[in-house]
Chain A
């Protein structure tokens, strides 16, 4: 029994598939292969698959990470080949490795925002440079459900532009997480010209580098 870390991408129409639905789809795809998966030993046995960080509905990802527990002496290369043979369009395993970083070490993620030609990029730069973009999201206070207002740009670790593309590194993980889709939506609300066509998560990061 060992864990294998798979690097995958989720692109195109697959971005409308939610995290939970993706989880189920991957489990089904595993069942269509003969990869010797380890099953949990409870009342309701199921394979052990963990995604490093859920992707918000609507975003694409590359260099995304999932861990899988297998038994027997199957090679990583075989796992990748067998799984890629059955995965749907838009979902593809691009690499594999031994898990090194622990999931709780994941704290940042890098995103690309693709804006339409009509978008006034100077306005985007001005808003993002201003360091404040408020968004309401459901949260809890004293055990009750309330709407919380958060600043999506409170912490921006890196920011760069290339034409109508913006690259941002934002907090991600279990401690603090910024939803990039909300960020795109709030930008669109702030300025009528802003039209974000696509958000892609390009890397999961720890304090020291890429999450692997």
Chain B
């Protein structure tokens, strides 16, 4: 690291997030590698370092002797000031060298509100933000992550998107790049050839024409680009790369622990949940593989907590077998196992006791909606009875706090549904006082958290209008007025933030002008409430001649061409329409193990989906 910058580090908060000398950080001799990869996470260190995707790809690229992957995070405001004042360009944490000299710069797009940070990081690196202004092959700017399923708002800035599972396609891409670099090939030729890889989408190879009303008339592939770009799918999780070591940070990060992904995909089919659809089909990892790999990981990192990660842990077929296998070595080592998104109702109590022997985690229900009717609309199969039963048992066991998660603005929602949220919270409070074994001298605390629904691509609600900002404000106020007990507290998300997310989630590539304008007028860290500036964004939309309501608050017809229709995530549009129609009638769809709903994603996996394997349920 530059010694002048080192001296300046004492002026900023958390300087250890910029020094890159953590345990497990990979250092190589740059003269021995062909491809230098800058893995950029467009948010602060403490967020990015918690991201499992980065850990996997960082380890995987660095296993190659011909490539070196370094980490880059968005510098916080104070560090950005130091860098801009001192003329220090964005650098890779491992080498301390400027990112603009790397071969490939890869961003992960985890949420829509990180887009201005991507532009800011490119600018801090000293690069033009628009793809067309970077004519040479290096540095190639690529992006992956869930937001790529509607990559269009970022299409003008990113050279190439990686759709779906990153493991296989990343290696194919690096191989191809290496070939072009050695032969002195052009960026245009490289992009055209890359577009033939499964999991690669090159936005500049698609021409978008619009109707007069602003909707899309046609998306036409150029040159030899395929009509549809298909997401990459890793078929066998037991044989795909998983890191045996993590970079272990010095400073505290959001999730500072060993983590293991136990399966990909989700059988539940909650209609609002994008992750539940775009990570399909279900692919499970064998318990032996998980236990073996996570043991190596804990030994290498020294972590005392292991988190099992998936979209719904208790839907893992071999969960009991796995936990017994893990506990055998975690208990003597005093390693705590964290099982987020666990359904307690169908779980055996003895196992649960052993899990919580070290530390007790909180009790959280994602009820999502306040009435059974609305929970049926969104296909969230949790009943009021289940919530109350589990709360009762938890209270009897000595717990005094329950968290309830809801969404406001779901399709077909009425004020009765909003009031239902308050009613449910009250019932949980009542359950506590009805309990004869309740802890003496302690009150109960029910925390209600209400977020704002944002319709997302590749869900049955992708055609739905989002509530306008003022309607969210009204519903939040109404919800607060319905809560009469002091034992329940309500916290809500900022409506303006959700409104912007709504625009970006289903936006098209014309949004580029607004994103660039907003960034140039000072917008960064839009997902952080203290830096979010809605007025600037409104000015940006006006300057770009765009109406945010067109993107967020408009109902689309089933036959409208959507900005993401030329991306294939395996989810059949006819399935989404079926689900959308059932939602309107408040009809539920059983989860994938009860009956296959025909989403179509198994075609990505040679027809195989682990939801249909023999189960022990």
Contacts and interface: CB of A to CB of B under 8 A. Distances in A.
Contact of A32 (B9, B21, B299): B299
B302 A28 contact: yes
A89 B6 CA distance: 17
Nearest to A12: B21
Nearest to A30: B302
Nearest to B252: A21
A57 interface: yes
A16 B19 contact: yes
B21 A89 contact: yes
B127 interface: no
A48 to B, nearest CB: 14
Contact of A16 (B3, B15, B299, B334): B15
Interface residues of A, number: 27
Considering residues B6, B21, B302, which has the most beta carbons from chain A within 10 angstroms of its beta carbon? B302
Contacts of A89: 21
B302 A16 contact: no
Nearest to A58: B10
A21 B21 contact: no
Interface in A58-88: 58, 86, 88
Nearest to B17: A16
Contact of B334 (A24, A39, A197): A39
Contact of A28 (B3, B23, B251): B23
A22 B334 CA distance: 21
Contacts of B19: 13, 16
Interface residues of B, number: 27
A31 interface: yes
A90 B21 CA distance: 9
Nearest to A14: B21
B248 A16 contact: no
A25 interface: yes
Contact of B250 (A22, A30, A32, A44): A22
A32 B296 CA distance: 11
Contacts of B303: 28, 31
Contacts of B10: 57-58, 181
Contacts of A14: 21
Interface in B300-345: 300-304, 333-334
Nearest to A27: B302
Secondary structure call for the B interface: loop
B358 A28 contact: no
Interface string A156-175: 00000000000000000000
Contact of B23 (A12, A25, A27): A25
Contact of B21 (A30, A86, A88): A88
Contacts of B7: 197
Contacts of A17: 16, 250-251
B22 interface: yes
B15 A28 contact: no
Contacts of A149: none
A113 to B, nearest CB: 14
Given A28-B301, A197-B7, A18 B16 contact: yes
Considering residues A25, A44, A89, which has the most beta carbons from chain B within 10 angstroms of its beta carbon? A25
Contact of B248 (A13, A28, A39, A45): A28
Contacts of A27: 302
Interface string B1-37: 1010011011000011011011100000000000000
B259 to A, nearest CB: 15
A29 interface: yes
Interface string A82-117: 000010111000000000000000000000000000
A18 B334 CA distance: 26
Contacts of B1: 13
B359 interface: yes
A29 B22 CA distance: 12
Contact of A21 (B251, B333, B358): B251
Nearest to B20: A13
B300 A32 contact: yes
A68 B288 CA distance: 36
A60 B565 CA distance: 57
A14 B23 CA distance: 11
A197 B7 CA distance: 7
B21 to A, nearest CB: 5
A17 B7 CA distance: 14
B359 A21 contact: no
A111 to B, nearest CB: 16
Given A13-B1, A17-B16, A197-B7, A32 B301 contact: yes
Interface string B348-362: 000000000011000
A181 B302 CA distance: 32
A16 B359 contact: no
B84 to A, nearest CB: 20
Contact of A25 (B3, B9, B18, B250): B250
Contacts of B301: 28, 32
Contacts of B302: 27-32, 86
A45 B18 CA distance: 32
A88 B358 contact: no
Contacts of B3: 197
Interface in B518-568: none
Interface string B234-275: 000000000000001011100000000000000000000000
A57 B15 contact: yes
Contacts of A39: 334
Given A28-B248, A31-B302, A32-B302, A88 B334 contact: no
A28 B248 CA distance: 9
B159 to A, nearest CB: 33
A24 B22 CA distance: 13
A119 B248 CA distance: 38
A90 B301 CA distance: 18
Nearest to A56: B10
Considering residues A22, A30, A57, which has the most beta carbons from chain B within 10 angstroms of its beta carbon? A57
Contact of A88 (B9, B18, B23, B252): B23
Nearest to A28: B302
Nearest to A181: B10
Contacts of A22: 250
A195 to B, nearest CB: 8
B547 to A, nearest CB: 47
Given A21-B252, A44-B359, A16 B9 contact: yes
A29 B23 CA distance: 9
Contacts of B248: 25, 28
Contacts of B16: 16-18, 21
Given A13-B1, A16-B16, A57-B10, A31 B252 contact: no
A57 B301 CA distance: 24
Nearest to B251: A21
A45 B334 contact: yes
26 contacts: A12-B21, A13-B6, A16-B15, A16-B19, A17-B250, A18-B250, A18-B251, A21-B252, A22-B250, A24-B250, A25-B23, A25-B248, A28-B302, A29-B23, A29-B302, A31-B302, A31-B333, A32-B301, A32-B302, A57-B15, A58-B9, A88-B23, A89-B21, A90-B21, A197-B3, A197-B7
Given A21-B16, A25-B248, 7 more contacts: A13-B6, A14-B21, A16-B16, A16-B19, A25-B23, A88-B22, A197-B3
Across the A-B interface, the 6 shortest Cβ-Cβ residue pairs: A28-B302, A31-B302, A16-B15, A32-B302, A21-B250, A13-B19
